Amino acid sequence: MSIWDSPIELSSHVPRSVSGRMIATAVGAALVVGLVAVGLLVAYSGLQARTDRIFGGVAVAGVDLSGLSRADARRKLEQDLDPLLAESVSLTHDGGAIRVSMADLGVSLDHDAMVERAYGQGREKGALANLRARRQLKHDGVDLAPVLRTDQGAMRDRISEFTQSFRREAQNARIQVHGAEIVLVPGVTARELDVEGTVGAVLASVTSAGNRSVPVVFKETPPAVTTESLQDVNCVLSQFSTNYPAYKTDRTHNLGLAAGKIDGTCLEPGEEFSYNGVVGPRTAAAGYRMADVFADGEVRPGMGGGVCQPSTTLYDAALLAGLNVTERHHHMMPVSYVRPTRDATVAYDEGLDLRFTNSLSHPILLRASVGGGQLTCSVLGNEADKCEVELVISGESVIPMEEEQVVDETLEPGAREETQKGYGGRTGTLTRIIRKGGAEVERVVLHTDRYSPRKQIWRVGPEKTEDDASTVAGTGSPAAPQAGAGDSPSPAPGGASAGARPAGATAEELFSGLAGG
């Protein structure tokens, strides 16, 4: 067979080669056209990007900047947005508000940054992506947020100016007693302006145009006596009163000052009360005045005189409420406002304190008041803790007073002067009996007190001689007759002079009406 014998093979080979070349040529042409087109688009996009105009559809805070140059856009933003700085931020509190302009708070507009953000729309990506972004802007538009700058130092200073306006003092929850009715008055928390917190809230609010309402941020401190702590106080557990001479104004002032410190004190179960800790030092700086105190066996002026009467009155109220007394001291001599063994002296500098714990199952509230010549202390608590308390004084006795006479040659014969006031002493024992529902649950001897006597000391002149009984020298006149029995200034039977206190007189009798301590 010759080469021509296979025409099919020859005819089929030639058309395939021609077809491939044609397809390749067509594809190449298409690619060239595409590249040219892309190049033209890129070039077009580049030309658009190099213009000084903001693309259509771009606004800032509602201000349309389409087609404006950057300079014109800045002027328009200043014109339309600067008035926003005069708009106010409302610092709201307790239903009220304080309005402050954003400019006063150190807020300003960054016009250059806003213009650059607007100008960058449709220019921030590749050429083709920018073309698509520009079509999207033209179709949908974009409204950019304003760019704000804040001077936090200026804002802090401006907000700090309202510190006093927002300050609120704490008020303890308290109990009011109206007859048999117990009324709980809720406490009030202390409040201080939280400057940093409020600055943060304002900064968070100034992100868009328009008036803003910003709740003021506070630092709050609960009162010492909270409403919750008194929820269970529903009755008067005990009450005790003592009388005082109201005409002694400085002493009365001291009583009121100490009572005011005590009043409203709340003790949780197991918590201890310290009189010195609550009342504080008795100094002029603390408001106390000079008044009678017991010192070295005498009644003399002293700073804070009288503060032992509130401690004594509170001591008895604590005993009658069934509380556990952990520290108590008696006076050097009995006081006029309470029976011996039921007093409680205190001395801040010497460390003499009155302490007791709330040994009950619920919180207690201490009340103290002064007025009309009467000092009253009460213990309020829960009805479940109420008990009947009896205080029994036993073993009372009087310790006789001793007397001493010291001859003083400088005195006239027969003369007699008191050098030291003396008094008899006392002893006694106090027992507490606690009953609940009529049944005795506790009987405790609390303490036995001894109020020491004090020696009465007299300065006396030398004994009279016969010459003293003769006529008065140089006059020729008879001497004045000597006093007879019953009106003699010499010692009376038992060592006491006529008209003087008997040897058995006690300090309570000698100093009746002189409320010391």
Tens digits of pLDDT across the chain (517 residues): 332 233 333 334 445 555 666 766 666 666 655 555 455 455 444 445 567 788 888 899 889 988 899 899 999 988 988 887 888 888 888 878 888 888 888 888 888 998 989 898 888 766 677 778 778 888 888 888 888 888 888 889 998 998 888 899 999 888 888 777 888 899 999 999 999 998 888 887 775 555 678 889 999 999 988 898 888 899 999 999 999 999 999 999 999 999 999 998 999 999 999 999 999 999 999 999 988 776 665 666 778 788 999 999 999 999 999 999 999 999 988 888 999 999 999 999 899 999 999 999 999 999 999 999 999 999 999 999 999 999 999 999 999 988 999 998 888 888 999 888 888 889 999 999 999 999 999 999 999 999 988 888 999 999 877 665 544 444 443 433 333 333 323 333 333 333 334 444 444 444 444 445 6
- Measure Cα distances from 295 to 132, 305, 339, 350 in Å: 100, 11, 20, 12
Our measurement of the distance from residue 90's CA atom to the centroid of its chain's CA atoms, rounded to an integer in Å, reads: 29
Task: Say what the pLDDT of residue 107 is.
Answer: 85
Task: Say what the pLDDT of residue 75 is.
Answer: 92
Task: Estimate the share of the chain in helix, then strand, then coil, as percent rounded to the nearest 5.
Answer: 30, 30, 40
Task: Say what the pLDDT of residue 236 is.
Answer: 93
Task: Say what the pLDDT of residue 365 is.
Answer: 92
DSSP single-letter state for residue 71: H
Which residues, in sequence order, are CB contacts of 202 under 8 Å at separation 6+?
89, 91, 105, 155, 159, 212, 214
End-to-end Cα, the chain, rounded Å: 152
| Positions of E strands within 246-387 | 266-267, 272-274, 290-295, 298-303, 324-327, 355-357, 364-371, 374-381
- Measure Cα distances from 367 to 170, 247, 260, 262, 290 in Å: 18, 24, 9, 7, 25
Task: Say what the pLDDT of residue 13 is.
Answer: 46
Task: Say what the pLDDT of residue 483 is.
Answer: 33
CA distance 379 to 356: 12
Determine the residue type at 11. Answer: S
CA distance 505 to 413: 28
CA distance 405 to 298: 19
CA distance 208 to 226: 42
Which residues, in sequence order, are CB contacts of 398 under 8 Å at separation 6+?
424, 425, 426, 504, 506
Which residues, in sequence order, are CB contacts of 51 under 8 Å at separation 6+?
none
Task: Say what the pLDDT of residue 488 is.
Answer: 28
Task: Say what the pLDDT of residue 219 is.
Answer: 93
CA distance 410 to 204: 93
Pairing of strands 403-407, 190-193: unpaired
DSSP single-letter state for residue 497: B
| Positions of E strands within 70-123 | 88-93, 96-101, 107-109
Task: Say what the pLDDT of residue 486 is.
Answer: 31
- Measure Cα distances from 288 to 5, 257, 304, 307 in Å: 143, 8, 5, 10
Cβ–Cβ < 8 Å for 306, 339: no
Q: Order of strands, edge to edge, in the sheet holding 364-371?
A: 235-243, 374-381, 364-371, 266-267
| Positions of E strands within 106-215 | 107-109, 142-144, 148-150, 174-178, 181-185, 190-193, 212-215
Our measurement of the distance from residue 447's CA atom to the centroid of its chain's CA atoms, rounded to an integer in Å, reads: 38
Our measurement of the distance from residue 511's CA atom to the centroid of its chain's CA atoms, rounded to an integer in Å, reads: 42
Q: Which two tokens stand for residue 359?
A: 């040994």
Task: Say what the pLDDT of residue 293 is.
Answer: 74
Which residues, in sequence order, are CB contacts of 381 under 8 Å at separation 6+?
232, 233, 235, 237, 321, 360, 362, 363, 364, 365
